[in-house]
Amino acid sequence: MPSDINHIIQMSLEGDKNCQEILLQKLTPLIYKNIYMYWSPSDLITEDLVQEGYLLILESLESYDEKYNVHFLQYIKIKILFFYKNYYRNNKKYKFELNISDINILNDEKSPIEQVIKDEEIKELVNNLKKLSAKEQEIIYLYYHKRLPVSEISEALNIPYRTVIGKKQVAIKKLKKSTVSVN
C-alpha cells in the first residue's frame, strides 16, 4: 500500500482504483472541515454531503490537467471549498431557535404586576409556538420575526405559495385556540 501522497495522487490520476480509495480516505478530513463550516455534525444532510465530496474528488481526477502547474491537492482544496460554499448558498434554509427574547413587546412603563402578567403571556406564547409543527414554526418565525414576505418564504422553504399561506393560517388558528389572553 503506497504511503507517499504524490504517488497516490499520480496512481489515482492514472485510474488505479485502490489508490483512488486511499486518496478519498486521506481527503476525508478536508471534506468534513468544509462541511462543518456551514452545517453542524448533527445535521441530517452531513453524510450526503460527504458522499457529494467524494464524487467531486473522483470527477476532479478526470478533469484535472497537470499543464496548469497547480498541484492536485491545491486544485481539489479550492474545488471542495467552493463546492460546499455554493451548495450552502443555493440550498440555505433559515435556521432559528425560538426563545422568549425573540418576542419583542414594548414595555410602556407598566406596573410590576402588569409586567409579570405580560411576561407570563410571553412564556405561554413561546410554549404554544413550540407545540406547532416544525414547518409551521418556521413559517411563523420567518413571517413575523424576520418579516419576510410570503413569496420569499415560499422560495426559501421550497414549498408552494398557497401552502405557506395555508400553514400560516392554520398555525395562527392553533395559537389563538391554545393561548389564553390575560388582560
Q: What is the pLDDT of residue 115?
A: 78
Q: pLDDT tens digits for 126-139?
A: 888 888 888 898 89
Q: Of 93, 90, 95, 85, which is closest to residue 33 (Cα–Cα)?
A: 85
Higher pLDDT, 39 or 139: 139
Q: Which amino acid is at 180?
A: V
CATH of 5-91, one of 1.10.287.1770, 1.10.1740.10, 3.40.50.300, 2.120.10.30: 1.10.1740.10
Q: Spell out the residues 6+ positions from residue 178 whose beta carbon is closer than 8 angstroms to its own.
A: 128, 131
Please determine, for residue 103, whether its predicted confidence score (pLDDT) is greater than 80. Answer: no
Please determine, for residue 47, whether its predicted confidence score (pLDDT) is greater than 60. Answer: yes
Grid coordinates belonging to 53 = 465530496
Q: Of 171, 164, 102, 161, which is closest to residue 133 (Cα–Cα)?
A: 171
* Cα angle: 81, vertex 85, 88; to 5 degrees: 145
3-state SS, 18-70, equals HHHHHHHHHHHHHHHHHHCCCCCCCCCCHHHHHHHHHHHHHHHHHHCCHHHCC
Q: What is the pLDDT of residue 100?
A: 52
Q: Of 63, 58, 36, 37, which is closest to residue 47 (Cα–Cα)?
A: 36
pTM here is 0.50
130, 98 Cβ separation under 8 angstroms? yes
100, 122 Cβ separation under 8 angstroms? yes
Q: What is the pLDDT of residue 169?
A: 94
- Helix ranges restricted to H, the chain: 5-13, 17-35, 46-63, 72-91, 112-130, 134-140, 150-157, 161-178
pLDDT confidence band for 97 (50 / 70 / 90): low
Fold of 100-178: Arc Repressor Mutant, subunit A (1.10.10)
In the chain, domain spans: 5-91, 100-178
